[in-house]
Structures are given as structure tokens and as C-alpha cells.
Amino acid sequence: MLASVDSTNAEGFRQAPHLAGPAWIMAAEQTAGRGRRARPWVSPRGNFYATFVMQSHEAPAQIALRSFVAALALHDALCQVTGSTRGLALKWPNDVLLGGGKVAGILLECQAAGQGLQTLAIGIGVNLIAHPPAELVEPGATLPVSVLSESGQRVSPEAFLAKLAPAFAAREAQFSAGGFAPIRAEWLSHAARLGEPIRARTGTQDRHGTFSTIDGSGNLILHMSDGPVSIPAAEVFF
């Protein structure tokens, strides 16, 4: 556990050349935590900030599927610490919901390490005891919650990592052995708003339709009035 760091993903990339194998890097505090699209991630002490660092010769498209692996591992760990699956759901592309609010997020980043090798950093933030105030959230976005506020369970970052690390190892083994198909099927079984109307924002374009499924590449399939559309990256609003 690092006392303080700018971001665990940044620290992961700094440490990667010196690591003997995959590793978790956790910090009590981030001074420049980041979410998707370089948004700041509010990082008070008591919440969970960690990055899983690994190296891979896989193609970028295959590496990117580990955001779904991480989401399932988070779901598994949160089930254990809350004692229930009630209220837990996975929001495409990389959030975990508890009681309808955002309790955790995933940031997957890659850097070339030479000779076809990629360093992968899977950053995970979990609101264990605190969450940002609603006024800091973009209008229409999912409001944040914490494990404590929704379940009444007070969990330390160290205790959460003790659940998450083996859960991730098990899901990684499942992915390595069986590919994306079983990960996709199980992710869909926990998907938020599957079969319901959603809005997907890509850049400045908003698309409205029914969340139909995700395909074999992890793309969102949105069924619109003129047929299905495959969306590789977007912000999703309910």
C-alpha cells in the first residue's frame, strides 16, 4: 500500500519495467486520479484505488476485453463484501452499479513496451465509504454511491483487495481458458438496462435506442429505429 501517489495507473507504468510478473499496486490516496476521458477521479482516503499491471503480446482488441474481466471480478468481490447480489449491476462499458448508483469504475490503459509487448494497467476505483456529491456529476449521468451508504458495510481498502485479487485471478483464468464467450455471457447476465431504452453519446452525437446486447468484441449493440448499430466506445445515459 502506497501512502500517496498521483495515480495508480501512472505508478503502474513506472514500475512495470521492474516487475517480475503481474502485480497489484494500491494507494491510500491519489492526488491526480483519472477516470475515462481524462476526467478527474475524486480520491479521498478510505476508498479503494488500485491498478493491476501485466504485460502481454496479445492484440490490442483482445487486451481491451479485460475491462469485462475486471467488471466481473469487481461484481464477485462486491457480492462478497456486501453479502448479497441485490442491487449490483454492470453498466457498459466499465462501471459497476449498486442500488442504481455508480459504486466503481474501471480505467484500462496500454503502453507499448517494445518487441510487440504491451504493458496493461487496469485501474479500479471503488467508493467504499464516500462518494462525490451529486453537484459534481454531469447532468443525466448516473449518480455516485458508496458501499457504506448502500449496504451499511464498512470495508477497508486492504480487505477489499483481499477479495478482489483472487476474484480477478479466477476471472483471468476463465478468460485465458475459454476466451471471451463465457465472460460475455456472464457479463450480460448482470448487465444494467439490458433490453431497455438508453442514450449513447459518441463525441457530440447522441443515439437513442434499445440496449440489445454486446457483441464478441465487446461493442454495444444499440437497436435504433432504422436497425441495430454497433458502438465501440460511448458514454451511456439511462
pLDDT at 44: 81
pLDDT at 38: 57
pLDDT at 6: 92
CA distance 98 to 151: 9
Looking from the CA of 231 toward its CB, the CA atoms found within 13 Å total 29
pLDDT at 135: 78
pLDDT at 75: 98
CATH fold of 8-189, please? BirA Bifunctional Protein; domain 2 (3.30.930)
Where in the chain do CATH 2.30.30.100 domains reside?
Answer: 197-237
Taking residue 49's Cβ as centre, other Cβ atoms within 10 Å add up to: 24
Is the separation of the CB atoms in 147 and 78 below 8 Å?
A: yes
pLDDT at 35: 63
CATH code assigned to 197-237: 2.30.30.100
Amino acid at 165: A
pLDDT at 136: 76
What is the per-residue DSSP string for 72-90? HHHHHHHHHHHT--TTEEE
Looking only at Cα atoms, what is the longest distance across the chain? 53
pLDDT at 52: 98
pLDDT at 33: 74
Alpha helix locations (H) across 131-199? 147-151, 157-178, 180-189
Where in the chain do CATH 3.30.930.10 domains reside?
Answer: 8-189
Instruction: Report in angstroms the alpha-carbon separations of 183 from 70, 126, 133, 230.
Output: 10, 21, 33, 19
10-residue mean pLDDT profile of the chain (238 residues): values are 92 94 95 68 85 94 96 98 92 96 96 89 96 81 94 96 98 97 98 97 91 97 95 94
